[in-house]
Homo-oligomer: A and B are copies of this chain.
Amino acid sequence: MQPIGRRAEVKPGQTLLDAAREGGIEMTALCGGEGWCYGCRVRLEEGQLSPLTDAEKNGLTDAELALGYRLACQAVPLSHVKIEIPPESLATAQRLQVEGKEAAAAVDPVVHQVDVTVGEATLHDLRADTIRLLDALGSPEEIRFALPVLQTLSPTLRNQEWSVRLAIRDGEVIAVAPVGTPMLGFAVDMGTTKLAGYLVDLATGETLAKSGAPNPQISYGEDVISRIGYTMTHEDGAATLQRRVVETLNDLVWRLCAEAGRETRDVVEAVIVGNTAMQHIFARLPARQLALAPYVAAASEALTFRASEIGLALAPAAYVYMPPNIAGYVGGDHVAMALGTGAWESERTLVAIDIGTNTEVTVARGGHVWCCSCASGPAFEGAHIRDGMRAAPGAIEKVQIVDGVVHLKTIEGQPPVGICGSGIMDVVSEMYRSGIIDRKGALRPDAAGVEQNNGALAFTLAAAHDTGHGRPITVSRKDINEIQLAKAAIRAGVEILLSEAGATYDDVDEFIIAGAFGTYLDLHSSIRVGMFPSLPIHKFSQVGNAAGTGARQLLVSKARRAAASRLSAKATYVELTIHPDFSRRYMTALYFTAA
């Protein structure tokens, strides 16, 4: 079964869903396999399945059926089959991984390692230790030694009997170690909420260990604007935010090294990707101007500096690379995502999108790239929604309303305590589909489950006696409105970039959705509420943490770094707030109407 590459035995008459479960693959099946939640969509790649059931004919679009989509709870293999399980059909267990697509870049790291053996110094051979090594390397003119290396070189050379491994970066020796020591890299996707770290063998590109940690800056502000505010209102605010994240990364890389049986002193290169504000704060660049119009970055080019300059505890002369950004709100993480998915290098017409408080959108077409940032707000992170919450146990993540009856799925199957981002999208989509709200988002007072609540109408998703905290979970007009604002901003941004690129929806070959939230998003709900255009479902790709994948590619590939700089330099950034079409498209996109 793709993409996880697992094999499962299928007993005669057993459905794909049951076989998957027995094989340890947890799929989305809100309805328990009854065929009404359409959560277990899979695609037949090879072999033969039982004929389509009525449930499948109802739940799948003609386009999906044409592409071979089936419901795993309905289909029974009639032969050896090969099945693709789209990410949205995989349940919680797989979601907590930091994994995106594996890095596919050719290994061509900025740091290479070389083992050197030299003759011992004697009164008849008085060359300095450095010259002795450079002579052995055969290129004395072009290579220099970093000061921290010189500070340990002489005793290391003598302790290692005149044989050492050197790590050389751009003509500079940045580490000395016993012969054979593998040189390591540390890639970090530095999200506003979560840090994902990868320990990589620089010579092979292999990921030796990976792990995540919460971003400790969250206690100083949920989003980047409030964190920038903290740096402006507290004298040591910038230093504090920077120190906290560096401390966490120091701990993270130490843990990764311990897990892989390596030493942090052998980590000679780091790649840190984040949005523009996060990268600024990390490098102690002033972030104030990112919070004030016209929101320009202090620097947009790729930055390279010593890890020691910002307190990162790697090899003493290790360097940090941060990819270029494209604008104040289209950051290095978006560039890394575009690289990680290979999107921008394609000859086709592509939309790539990373949904968050700010949603970055890239459109690639005909060798050029357009980018924008949409102020989608924090609704998808559960904020500004009365019963909203982050994706945590007990969060409602999938909803179906069938004949007025609400079916819920919560994370880890706990009693519901709130609604996370993917859940709220489902709720609104189902409320619209069931006629509980109209196309403007207004609640119908006569719809089942809609009641007056503190003087305003609200729809009850879970009654008090069914929840984990004993209070009802409801959805108000204001909650609906937050989702409308968010999805309209994203839809308007996509449309404006496509029109700048001279393209229509029909031209779109692939619609890539990156990031954690985008991975869990139900595509059908997203299309039904109008956030995404109604493209054939196979044109959508939910690629997971592509920024982390891009970060690892940047760690091991000089070519990818060059590509990142080219992408940043050639991209046309479109500032939506001053675009003449923005208001019109935004107002139109507020309505619920799949088109």
Contacts and interface: CB of A to CB of B under 8 A. Distances in A.
A284 B150 CA distance: 9
Nearest to A151: B284
A331 to B, nearest CB: 12
Interface stretch (A298-306, A386-394, A474-482, A586-594): A298-306
Contacts of A325: 128
Interface in A98-149: 121-131, 144-148
A405 interface: no
A301 B129 contact: no
A297 B124 contact: no
A455 B300 CA distance: 83
Contact of A150 (B124, B144, B283, B296): B283
Interface stretch (A16-24, A287-295, A334-342, A538-546): A287-295
Contacts of A283: 147, 150-151
Contacts of A131: 299-301
Interface in A552-586: 573, 575, 577-578
22 contacts: A121-B296, A122-B294, A123-B294, A123-B575, A123-B577, A123-B578, A125-B294, A126-B294, A127-B296, A128-B300, A129-B289, A130-B298, A130-B299, A144-B304, A146-B305, A147-B310, A150-B285, A150-B298, A151-B286, A153-B286, A153-B299, A154-B289
A574 to B, nearest CB: 10
Contacts of A298: 128-130, 150, 153-154
A443 to B, nearest CB: 38
A470 interface: no
Contacts of A300: 127-128, 130-131
A361 interface: no
B151 A301 contact: no
Contact of A294 (B121, B145, B328, B577): B121
A284 B325 CA distance: 37
A128 B575 contact: no
Contacts of A129: 289, 296-299
Contacts of A304: 144
A285 B577 contact: no
A235 B206 CA distance: 40
A301 B130 contact: yes
A155 interface: yes
A158 interface: yes
Nearest to A132: B296
B296 A327 contact: no
A467 to B, nearest CB: 46
A371 to B, nearest CB: 11
Nearest to A285: B150
A218 B289 CA distance: 50
A466 interface: no
A309 interface: yes
Contacts of A154: 285-286, 288-289, 298
Contacts of A155: 286, 288
Contacts of A309: 147-148
Interface string A321-332: 000010110000
Given A126-B573, A129-B298, A153-B298, 13 more contacts: A121-B289, A123-B578, A124-B578, A126-B296, A127-B296, A129-B299, A144-B301, A147-B284, A147-B305, A150-B299, A151-B284, A153-B286, A153-B299
Nearest to A328: B126
A147 B301 CA distance: 12
A131 to B, nearest CB: 6
Interface in A299-321: 299-301, 303-305, 309-310
Nearest to A124: B578
Contacts of A573: 126
Contacts of A578: 123-124
A170 to B, nearest CB: 12
Contacts of A147: 283-284, 303, 305, 309-310
A299 to B, nearest CB: 4
A295 B121 CA distance: 9
Please provide the 10 A-B residue pairs with the shortest distance between their CB atoms, ordered closest to farther. Answer: A128-B300, A128-B297, A147-B305, A130-B299, A154-B298, A123-B294, A121-B296, A154-B286, A151-B284, A129-B298
A299 B123 contact: no
Interface in A325-368: 325, 327-328
Contact of A158 (B124, B130, B289, B303): B289
